[in-house]
A = this chain, B = another copy of it.
Amino acid sequence: MADRTSPPPRPESAPTRSWWGWGASDRALSDAECASLAALVPGATEAALPVPAVASLELPPVRVSAPAALARLLSSAPADRAAHTYGKAFRDVVRALYGEMAAAPDLVARPRDERDVVDLLDWAAGAGVAVVPYGAGSSVVGGVEYRAGNHRGVLSLDLSRLDRVLEIDRVSRAALIQAGALGPGLESQLRPHGLTLRHFPQSFAFSTLGGWLATRAGGHYATLHTHIDDLVESLRVVTPTGVSQSLRVPGSGAGPSPDRLFLGSEGTLGIITEAWMRLQDRPSHKASASVVFERFPDAVDTVRAIAQSGLHPANCRLLDPGEAALSGVASGGGGSVLVLGVESAHGPVDGRLAELVALARDHGGSPAERSSASGDSASGDSAATAWRSAFLRMPYIRDGLARMSVISETFETACTWDRFPELYEAAHREVGAAVKKVTGASGLVNCRFTHVYPDGPATYFTVIAPGRRGAEVAMWDEIKAAAMETLGKQGATVTHHHAVGRDHRPGYDRQRPEPFALALRAAKQALDPAGILNPGVLFDAPTV
């Protein structure tokens, strides 16, 4: 039987969140660091954009007020409104730096329980106020930014008070977790039980369980259980027409899956408030290795062989030559680098790693580094640590580059193996041409695999190029449009794990089968007849 847990320890010194940029304020780059970074980008500007003080921001007037009974849940403080205006895409950060705050929500709501969420939706539906679920605001696709323009007001819904692990079923290895829990907070509540959700997106520290579920986030595992979808036992969702609670079972064939309708619904069909999640035992054995390839196609063949081998490595990240150089894990010889990791809670994994390395060698790879560790404190090895550290630092560097008006952004996709070589070529050729046309510089278009499947890779592209001050957003938008055009032509998805939001709507609309769109719009109308939930995401905003 499941145990109700006692109230959790408060997270150890939660960081102060940056209102304008990624993550923790105290980790943002200094002006000097920004400048030295930009020195590496030919054509970059020389002075960093200043970070405006919140007090200096011009926020639009608050247009709505809620009944007194809800007042204690609501804030219209400028700092709250500013911090809840945008996600954390390059274009969000740049607009924040320029103090463009027209999209600021009127109110920020922090409900304490499900009843509060119900009351807030009831009020909003009656008042014609849009409700934009915020998660922890790390959307990079315009998922938390209101743009529809015709609601009577906008409420940003922040579930940060719903951050508890409520119940743990040790025997089934599952827990009931509130949707507002941040990665570190939920892991710290699971740790005393020897359990872990082991879902570590790049945004881990600054995103919530509810956000992961609503956007079908990609996580730690490079193979097998890549999306959070597979870790879900059941969901509890507050919709404007009632609370949906799915049956908590390990598997079912009873009709279309209710959970799969809400997974990926990005706050348009309801507010996920709780989920029973499948957990893992904490891994006690880890091993990792890196392998260098002179020829990128050999590396791709290796990864395909690994993905089809049934060996299921936890990490299997391939960096193309440009990305390897950028990440500081290149060998110096300009090759591609494959980072492999294996882990287990049950026994040694060195044999499995040896099989993976042998596969890589068979395909022309040169093993560069290998290490293993066991015991509960297993912290991995230097290659994995270097990679992870660069990976977590990257968004702060992106913000530093943004302050130097350097375009620094990513797009990601997935396609089947048969299409990958052409996609890779086309992305470099076409997005490279767009970068050249827009910026006049060659810039960088790098590629890595973040997750791999037996039938194809999830591919992540990084674009870096000098921008012109004041035109950064328009320039990126033009490059991004070229990228979306390329993905569409290549039959690759507009997003593997960044969600659709508002930014990917054109490409998404083209790829979504029209009968499914009909069905989904009908479902939306049934659950949210007033059209208040995250208008503009997945669906056109209603004309209110």
Could you tell me if B169 and A247 are in contact, using CB atoms closer than 8 angstroms? no
A514 contacts which of B242, B355, B493, B494 (Cβ < 8 Å)? B242
Chain B residues with Cβ below 8 Å from A242 are: 514-515, 518
Q: Min CB distance, A487 to chain B, in Å?
A: 10
A519 contacts which of B250, B269, B458, B538 (Cβ < 8 Å)? B269
**Interface-side segment among A127-135, A303-311, A391-399:** A303-311
Q: Check: A29 CB closer than 8 A to any chain B CB.
A: no
Could you tell me if A255 and B266 are in contact, using CB atoms closer than 8 angstroms? yes
Given contacts A171-B304, A514-B244, contact A249 B451 (CB under 8 A): no
Q: Which residue of B lies closest to A523 (CB)?
A: B519
**Interface-side segment among A30-38, A461-469, A473-481, A504-512:** A504-512
Q: Check: A260 CB closer than 8 A to any chain B CB.
A: yes
Q: Check: A417 CB closer than 8 A to any chain B CB.
A: yes
Q: Check: A328 CB closer than 8 A to any chain B CB.
A: no
Chain B residues with Cβ below 8 Å from A260 are: 256-257, 260-261
A256 contacts which of B239, B261, B308 (Cβ < 8 Å)? B261
Could you tell me if B257 and A264 are in contact, using CB atoms closer than 8 angstroms? yes
Given contacts A304-B171, A518-B526, contact A416 B248 (CB under 8 A): yes
Q: Check: A278 CB closer than 8 A to any chain B CB.
A: yes
**Interface-side segment among A214-222, A373-381, A403-411:** A214-222
**Most chain B CB atoms below 10 A, which of A171, A224, A245, A347:** A171
Chain B residues with Cβ below 8 Å from A345 are: 310
**Which parts of A124-182 form the interface with B (CB within 8 Å)?**
169, 171-174
State the copy count for this chain. Answer: 2
Bound state CA distance, A504 and B257, in angstroms? 16
Q: Which residue of B lies closest to A413 (CB)?
A: B249
Q: Check: A107 CB closer than 8 A to any chain B CB.
A: no
Could you tell me if A496 and B252 are in contact, using CB atoms closer than 8 angstroms? yes
Bound state CA distance, A491 and B347, in angstroms? 34
Q: Min CB distance, A76 to chain B, in Å?
A: 31
Given contacts A417-B171, A418-B2, A519-B523, contact A226 B254 (CB under 8 A): no
Q: Check: A382 CB closer than 8 A to any chain B CB.
A: no
**Which parts of A341-388 form the interface with B (CB within 8 Å)?**
344-347, 355
**Most chain B CB atoms below 10 A, which of A253, A310, A511, A518:** A253
Could you tell me if A241 and B520 are in contact, using CB atoms closer than 8 angstroms? no
**Most chain B CB atoms below 10 A, which of A233, A248, A499:** A248
Could you tell me if A454 and B278 are in contact, using CB atoms closer than 8 angstroms? yes
Bound state CA distance, A454 and B261, in angstroms? 23
Chain B residues with Cβ below 8 Å from A239 are: 515
Could you tell me if A527 and B538 are in contact, using CB atoms closer than 8 angstroms? no
Interface residue count for A (Cβ, 8 Å)? 95
Q: Check: A299 CB closer than 8 A to any chain B CB.
A: no
Q: Check: A415 CB closer than 8 A to any chain B CB.
A: yes
Given contacts A255-B264, A522-B525, contact A416 B250 (CB under 8 A): yes
Could you tell me if A227 and B243 are in contact, using CB atoms closer than 8 angstroms? no
Q: Check: A521 CB closer than 8 A to any chain B CB.
A: yes
Q: Min CB distance, A512 to chain B, in Å?
A: 7
Bound state CA distance, A458 and B254, in angstroms? 13
Q: Min CB distance, A461 to chain B, in Å?
A: 16
Chain B residues with Cβ below 8 Å from A255 are: 264-266, 500, 508, 512, 520, 538
Chain B residues with Cβ below 8 Å from A527 are: 515, 518-519
A250 contacts which of B218, B453, B494, B508 (Cβ < 8 Å)? B453
Could you tell me if B252 and A262 are in contact, using CB atoms closer than 8 angstroms? no
Q: Min CB distance, A97 to chain B, in Å?
A: 28
Residues of A within 8 A of B (CB): 1-2, 169, 171-174, 215-218, 224, 226-227, 233, 237, 239, 241-258, 260-266, 269-270, 278, 281, 304, 308-310, 344-347, 355, 414-418, 451, 453-458, 491-500, 504, 508, 511-516, 518-523, 525-527, 538
Nearest 5 A/B pairs, CB to CB? A250-B456, A519-B523, A260-B260, A250-B453, A522-B526
Instruction: Offer 19 A-B interface pairs, CB within 8 angstroms, sorted by A.
Output: A169-B416, A215-B253, A218-B253, A233-B455, A237-B515, A241-B515, A242-B514, A249-B491, A250-B414, A250-B454, A250-B455, A252-B414, A253-B264, A254-B493, A255-B508, A255-B538, A269-B519, A281-B308, A522-B523
In the complex, besides A254-B500, A256-B520, A270-B515, 13 extra interface pairs with C-beta distance below 8 angstroms are A173-B308, A218-B253, A241-B515, A242-B515, A247-B493, A249-B491, A250-B457, A250-B458, A253-B499, A254-B512, A256-B262, A257-B264, A519-B522
